[in-house]
Amino acid sequence: MRLDAFLAKAAQMSRADAKQALRRGRVTVDGQVCRDGARHVEETAAVALDGAPLGVKQYVYIMLDKPAGVVSASRDARDTTVADLVREAYPRRELFPAGRLDKDSTGFVLLTDDGALAHAILAPRRHVAKTYTVEIDAPVTRAMTEGFAAGVTLADGTRLAHAELRAEEGARVCEVVLTQGVYHQIKRMFGVFGAGVVSLRRTAIGDVRLDGALGPGGYRELTAAELEKLSGGVL
């Protein structure tokens, strides 16, 4: 690709900033200053800006701790979206959430521009587990635990796959593990047992746990080990 395009992608610079950096001699290719934005460089070329090596990442994978009140979408006319929260840091990426949380739910949202990984995580046949901490407005009962394990039939007749409900009997805070992603699934599942959801937080996708250090609205890229766990050989 052209060197100016490489810079724009790898350093997240505008084309104008990339041109200026080139003019000022801040860019080297294989150790030599290069001022020619039209020069063709291979993806593997050793390009550096101010001496710091740059590499073009094909895709990015971001772990976001979604705050309440933010919608799981790329863009929205009215509400702040999960993509809006990271746009400043990734201005030239078209990021979208791989799976949705309700507006009032919080926790782990994976943002990426890699459609294949998003599809793999969401595909029902891959059964990637999503783990939630849920507070309900009634005590957990044995009927709930057994019902979730057997597979709940929702009020509209939808028959769900089995799910796991982990809690002491009588507790109001529990952990729920799903392998499906039906709209408002957990709220509707508890609704079948006459309980309302007070708060819902996704704490893990597959074997990757939400980083507790992030806090609401915090984000970071997945580590290589986390990405490997999620992609599980599909990439």
Residue 102 contacts ligand URA per CB under 6 A: yes
Contact with ligand URA (CB under 6 A) among 81, 112, 131, 185: 185
SS3 51: coil
Contact with ligand URA (CB under 6 A) among 127, 184, 209, 220: 184
Phi, psi torsion values for 202, nearest 5 degrees: -85, 125
Least spacing, CB of residue 164 vs ligand URA, in Å: 14
Inter-axis angle of helices 185-192 and 142-150, nearest 10: 130
Q: At CB < 8 A and 24+ separation, what contacts does 12-17 make?
A: 12/89, 12/90, 12/91, 12/92
Residue 186 contacts ligand URA per CB under 6 A: yes
Closer by beta carbon to ligand URA, 136 or else 200: 200
CA 117 vs. chain centroid, Å, equals 11
Closer by beta carbon to ligand URA, 36 or else 104: 104
Distance CA 162, CA 148 (A): 6
User: Is 91 buried (19+), middle (13-18) or exposed (0-12) by CB count in 10 A?
Assistant: exposed
Least spacing, CB of residue 204 vs ligand URA, in Å: 13
Helices (H), 24-69: none
Q: Which residues, in sequence order, are CB contacts of 170 under 8 Å at separation 6+?
A: 139, 140
Closer by beta carbon to ligand URA, 112 or else 185: 185
Catalytic residue among 17, 76, 102, 211: 102
Token pair recorded at residue 172 = 């109001």
Q: Which stretch binds ligand URA (CB under 6 A): 13-21, 84-92, 97-105, 219-227?
A: 97-105
Residue 137 contacts ligand URA per CB under 6 A: no
Closer by beta carbon to ligand URA, 18 or else 71: 71
Contact with ligand URA (CB under 6 A) among 61, 95, 97, 105: 105
Active site residue 50: no
Least spacing, CB of residue 226 vs ligand URA, in Å: 21
Least spacing, CB of residue 144 vs ligand URA, in Å: 15
Closer by beta carbon to ligand URA, 81 or else 105: 105
**How many CB atoms within 10 Å of residue 169?**
10
Contact with ligand URA (CB under 6 A) among 82, 195, 200, 208: 200
Distance CA 105, CA 164 (A): 19
Q: Enumerate the active-site residues.
A: 102
Point out which residues bind ligand URA (CB under 6 A): 101-102, 105, 184-187, 200
